[in-house]
Amino acid sequence: MEALKEQVEEKKKVIATLRNQPWRMKRRLVVLKEAQEFVERFEGALGKGRGRKLYAFKVMMAKKLIKFKRDFENFKTACIPWERKIKDVESHFGSSVASYFIFLRWMYGLNLVLFGLMFGLVMLPEILMGLPYGSIPRKTVPREEQPTAMDYSVLFEFGGYCKYSFLFYGYYDHERTIGLLQFRLPLSYLLVGVGIFGYSLMVVIRTMARNANEGGDGAEEGDFTFSWKMFTSWDYLIGNPETADNKYASITTSFKESIVDEQENQKDENIHLRRFLRVLANFMIISCLGGSGYLIYFVVKRSQEFAKSENANLSWFEKNEVEFVMSLLGLVCPPLFETIAELEDYHPRIALKWQLGRIFALFLGNLYTFLFALFDEVNAKLESEKSIKNSTEWIYNQYHANYSSFFNTTDVSIILYTVVEFVKLIVSDIQVTYLTILIGDFVRAVTVRFLNYCWCWDLEAGFPSYGEFDISGNVLGLIFNQGMIWMGAFYAPGLVGLNVLRLLTSMYYQCWAVMCCNVPHERVFKASRSNNFYMGLLLLVLFLSLLPVVYTIMTLSPSFDCGPFSGQEKMYDVVMETIEQDLPAFIGNIFTYATNPGLIMPAVLLMVLALYYLNALSKGYQQANLDLKRKMQMARDEEKNRRNNKDSTNQVMKDLEDLLPNKSLAPPPIEEDKSPKTKPGAARKGVNLQKDVSLAAPNPRAPVTRAPGPRRGPPGNARGPQPGPGRGRGRGGPPRQ
């Protein structure tokens, strides 16, 4: 009975792994049929006896589940958009350019979900069940702004009706429950705001984990250069003749380069000059970064002074100075960094990593400086608002009727002001990106194409020629844009919707631009082995954008007149209130116990210990891995040498041989200097290149229990150290006699 059950299980497993078997299709179909018949026949038989109905029910449910999962998978694949477009791009440009578009599509999916959450749980209830526009002060455009509220220029800057709409934080009412269903809007707002981060975090980590498995375990860079070049350099996705030609040329070049590398000796470099140049380059770049941070701070302060003065007679430039300066910095600095980096003379892949790191530091620095400058202003205004609040309350007690008119004349909600600035920045960033593509790629391509007829040198082959698609720049831009969206989503619910639109248009626009104006890359360097480099960057950006939001939730007390948390001391008081009033008493008790420091400290301690333990475990595995590699290497070399009838080049084996009975009576021969530290695959004269064994050192961890050298005494007692890698592994060798 048991055996039968096992057989059924086995057959089921065979069916599940059928597609992974390297069999001919016919054989698979035959095996599938057999296995399915077997399972059906005997599953019925197993169901005899007690629990037969239950077993039959379980089996039926399992079958339904499989069918449901399959239908769902089919549905999901059918829903994936833009498959044709991406395939087109792939066949023309190869897999690395297409990876950007695949990343863009993934972002679009993520943003759709976030938008769904925000819209369904926050915006829709407020629109449907909340108080309509105009009923309370925070939802109305103030009297003095009303004449211009519908102007396009004002709307474009998110003032006017836009500012007082559901797109921004200020519109939401702080009533505890709204509408018929008693929907708790403030609570929902807070939870959705936090949930957005939680969901994004989960999705990013899940994707990273999935990619990590594909990355291939870490073989050394130099181990398989030629083999990998030979077997993995052709991109099977290429379907376009031009691209194929390009690829042939680049593969040939790459082989020639590797051959030259192998045959050349190490260049006699002036190390000091190189180091000095690198230090100089880094110094220049750091001063650039510092300068750009200071410039932004200065410009933000200036714009606040402009805002204090009369609004009407400011030029467009002065009004949008901040965005203009930030976009300019984002455009000018990366090429500048690249030029400075020429001093450093790194291998292209390493240079690419440095470049990406520096661009990252630039964007991050700019963004945080911008935020700090704004926060400074916010704090200053909050101070003044506090004094207004005290006097207002006094007035409120005295003149109830004048309450609403008083509000119409004061500057409400500083946070709203900050958020509007932020949103303007994001929008201008998007505009600049699109403009850059238009000018940098399209106009350039058009001029090269048409001016070529009447120009003295060949514009297409020489300068400026057609542009290549800048993968890393675009991916970074996308990541930073997402970071800004995450930062702003809590205070401007409409921002996520805006981002969905942006990603959608980006997809079509960039697909068109790349097919129309770009040429395939001449040389392809990936920044990392798997896509995890960019995912890791995204994760970092997620955490960094979480910080300001958490800070404001925890420390800033909300304005007392706008937003869903007005009236509370701190924003998270909404949650406390709900726990106290709506949930049964014992849950409140549980929370009080759980947030007791006496409980939290041991929990944190436990997590730290777990981290330490897992770290030690992983180090242990890595060491075991290295040992295994060494063993394989040694075995391989031994085989080779045996076939070539050479003496062993392995130090350990040599020492072992020396320790053999008759040899040990003679003094040890003076060896030629065989330094075990030769780089693997180091260049030697001539075509025959032999890899030196660099791993010949004995196991450094174990103590050497006896020194090598000539020994006295009868051969019978001369028990050498244990065979195998690493001498003295058995602690405490044979005792001396």
Partner 1 sequence: MGNKQTIFTDEQLDAYQDCTFFTRKEILRLHGRYHELAPHLVPMDYTKDPDCKLPLALIVNMPELKENPFRNRIVESFSEDGMGNLSFNEFVDMFSVLSEMAPRELKAIYAFKIYDFNVDNYLCKEDLEKTLNKLTKEELTPEEVELVCQKAIEEADLDGDNKLSFADFENMITRAPDFLSTFHIRI
Burial of 168 (0-12, 13-18, 19+ CB in 10 A): buried
Neighbours of 559 (CB within 10 A): 22
Q: How many residues does the chain have?
A: 737
Write the DSSP symbol of residue 183. B
Q: Which is nearer to partner 1, 1 or 25 (CB)?
A: 25
Question: Could you tell me the two tokens for 57?
Answer: 């029910």
- Closest distance to partner 1 from the beta carbon of 96 (Å): 8
Q: Which is nearer to partner 1, 235 or 441 (CB)?
A: 235
Question: Could you tell me the two tokens for 247?
Answer: 């690829």
Residue pointed to by tokens 């119409």: 408
Q: Which is nearer to partner 1, 28 or 274 (CB)?
A: 28
Do residues 491 and 195 make contact, with C-beta atoms less than 8 angstroms apart?
no
- Closest distance to partner 1 from the beta carbon of 351 (Å): 19
Q: Which is nearer to partner 1, 547 or 626 (CB)?
A: 626
Neighbours of 286 (CB within 10 A): 12
Peptide bond into 703 cis (omega under 30): no
- Closest distance to partner 1 from the beta carbon of 68 (Å): 12
Q: Which is nearer to partner 1, 73 or 580 (CB)?
A: 73
- Closest distance to partner 1 from the beta carbon of 672 (Å): 23
- Closest distance to partner 1 from the beta carbon of 348 (Å): 16
CA distance 522 to 141: 56
Q: Which is nearer to partner 1, 30 or 128 (CB)?
A: 30
Q: Which is nearer to partner 1, 90 or 421 (CB)?
A: 90
3-state secondary structure of 267: coil
- Angle of helix 444-451 relative to helix 494-517, nearest 10 degrees, comes to 20
Do residues 500 and 111 make contact, with C-beta atoms less than 8 angstroms apart?
yes
* Three-state SS letters, 307-325: HHCCCCCCCHHHHCHHHHH
Burial of 633 (0-12, 13-18, 19+ CB in 10 A): middle
- Closest distance to partner 1 from the beta carbon of 8 (Å): 17
CA distance 508 to 516: 12
Q: Which is nearer to partner 1, 54 or 635 (CB)?
A: 635
Q: Which is nearer to partner 1, 233 or 402 (CB)?
A: 233
- Closest distance to partner 1 from the beta carbon of 717 (Å): 37
Q: Which is nearer to partner 1, 212 or 587 (CB)?
A: 212
Neighbours of 355 (CB within 10 A): 18
Burial of 18 (0-12, 13-18, 19+ CB in 10 A): middle
CA distance 330 to 655: 61
- Closest distance to partner 1 from the beta carbon of 271 (Å): 29
- Closest distance to partner 1 from the beta carbon of 641 (Å): 9
Going by C-alpha positions, the residue among 489, 544, 495 that lies closest to residue 162 is 495
- Closest distance to partner 1 from the beta carbon of 352 (Å): 15
